[in-house]
Structure 1
Amino acid sequence: MSEPTLSSQRSIAVPQMVDFLYLEWLGKPVWMWLGFHALVAALLAFDLGLLHRDKEHEIGIRESLLLTAFYFSLGLVFGAWVWWYLGPQAGQEYVTGLVVEKSLSMDNVFVIAVILTSLGIPRAAHHRVLVWGILAAVLLRGLMIGLGAALVHQAHWVLSLFAAFLIYAGLKMLVSGAEEEGDFQDSAWVRWTRKAFRVTPELHGQRFVVRKTDPATGRKALWLTPLAFALVLVNGADVIFAVDSVPAIFAITTDTFVVYTSNIFAILGLRALYFALAAMVDRFAYLKTALAFILIFIGAKIVVADTFHLVDVPPWVSLVVTVVLLVAGVVYSLWRTRGEQAVVDERDARMEREAEARGRA
């Protein structure tokens, strides 16, 4: 029997590659997962590699809002494709998930602002922490969504646990007060992190790690700078918030592709959203109340629709309720805090000067 020629080997390899791309993984063809990750890689390269090559560049509110609008619009365009290719229900679930995750990420932004301000990180260095924080968040969310998908598909009753947790988290958010900046420095998480790592008292430019003498041993050792310490705390905060957001999206849909893509698109715009929200943090005093009601609504929907089968709640109803609650929280916050912007600006300027002074000390 004659040996297969090079051209015949190539003709065999091409159909095999095509067959591989149409193999199902987590309920969707491989080409859909590869295509989405290629899109994410291109966006990260464009944002981080082209728009912000200057490490000292400080993003202003206008640029922050434009980038936020760009990422959210792109997320909606991707949702239109999901609607067209996977059907109206998948499209509605994707858009609902995107809005819910973007809403919950706003609360995460406020916590990140407290972390960076408390540690005296200059505003020009905030974007560097957020760059690596977003990359880590994408990986962490992927792992948590994979674990959540495995649990949900193995035992559907896990959704009922998610629902109970969301209702509890929403009620807890309603009764808990806002976290004060002074309380943050004394939190158990910060104290443990400071004990677990060597942290320099001063910044070293844009560096995360430096090598210097350890007073305890007299030998050279690796130390984290406050910039790296902030990154550790930001990633820890994202894990804590993912405990709320991952059950919330699975309570909307169990389609792993829809869950993952809506989550990642919400995270990609988080860095851009940060600089606009951080500058107006006190103008959104009642946003947490709206987020609490969103969590309670999503949990209650699972209880009445999936656990007890009392009412069938269409995806568009979840989307409308989520948007109405979010818009109401934003509008009411802005209305209640009208006229306070001048006071806020003066206070922020003072805090910025104090943060820069601590960074130089």
Structure 2
Amino acid sequence: MDKIEWIAPCHFGLESVLKREIEQLGYEIAQVEDGRVTFRGGLEAVCRANIFLRTAERVLMKVGSFQARTFDELFERTKELPWEDYIPRDGKFWVAKAASVKSKLFSPSDIQSIMKKAMVERLRAKYGIKWFEETGASYPVRVFLMKDTVTVGLDTTGVSLHKRGYRPVAGKAPIAENLAAALIMLTPWRKDRILVDPFCGSGTFPIEAAMIAANIAPGMNRSFTAETWANIIAKKAWYEAVNEAADLIDDDIETDIQGYDADGSVLRAARRNAEEAGVGHLIHFQQREVKDLSHPKKYGFIITNPPYGERLEEKEALPKLYKEFGEAFKKLDSWSAYMITSYEEAERYFGRKADKNRKIYNGMLRTYFYQFQGPKPPRKSAK
């Protein structure tokens, strides 16, 4: 298992950010598709990818891919895959999720059931047993069907990578941690620049920015399904990846990262979350209405997830809220603003057409990442 193919799903529209992250880890990109990036690496790649990737949903170990237009084909081709190379005699295995796009086979429950039967039949023959105790480690399988091509992977992650472990308390309509990180990484913001989130809620944007600034790997303080796969990867590889991440942390830095919200109770949660993430000392949280948004310095960044108004009574308040946000931003000379929202009238009430916008799916919700770009700061002259 020198070079294995690993599959990292992500939010639709953010594949380029994930691709860049994977390349920075030193791995070769095999394929970029809608909502996922496939890359090649050794066994250590599963540890490093799970611990270091900020923008992925999870990491899958690719078992194989094939064409299937009928359930008979699906059964036979699944049965041909070398499951015994991955799943030991006592392993617990099931098809955790099946997704189908533009394929003749489209029923997730039928796909899951047929593939499990095929796996059982293969492993029964290989191990010479009729009954599987399934008392050992878990080997969940995930499958994608795209235009009748079936791609099969073992889920090495378990609970999605957006669960960093620092946010047990979330406000209303929280943004996923990996989505927040990806949006920050889409902007030119760097750790020596000002960042303000005027609708910070439970603190996700400021916390993710502070973790990027301090080089804190997002998966350092959580566990992964593949940690128990002793038949595939040694525990030592996981310890080495965690030690690598610990050595890279630099939280003895000065930052200007601020989170504002009108709701004092969610700010208390945001402060707790920031402490839990180890970045409480790098963020200033303050109770403040968006109309009072201000900062004395130039060339700052606003990166935010304002209310979308998914409920009718909230929707009525949105014109005033976005108008106040736009008017406050006008006073911030030379600043840039980036906001993700599904609110169709965002630009109209903000009072300015975005320089760029990017369509991003937040789950099943279509949103836009509006980018209002300010001027670049002057270059610092060399002494």
TM more than 0.5 = no
State TM-score, norm by structure 1: 0.25
Higher helix share: 1
Normalised to the residue count of structure 2, the TM-score between the two structures is 0.24
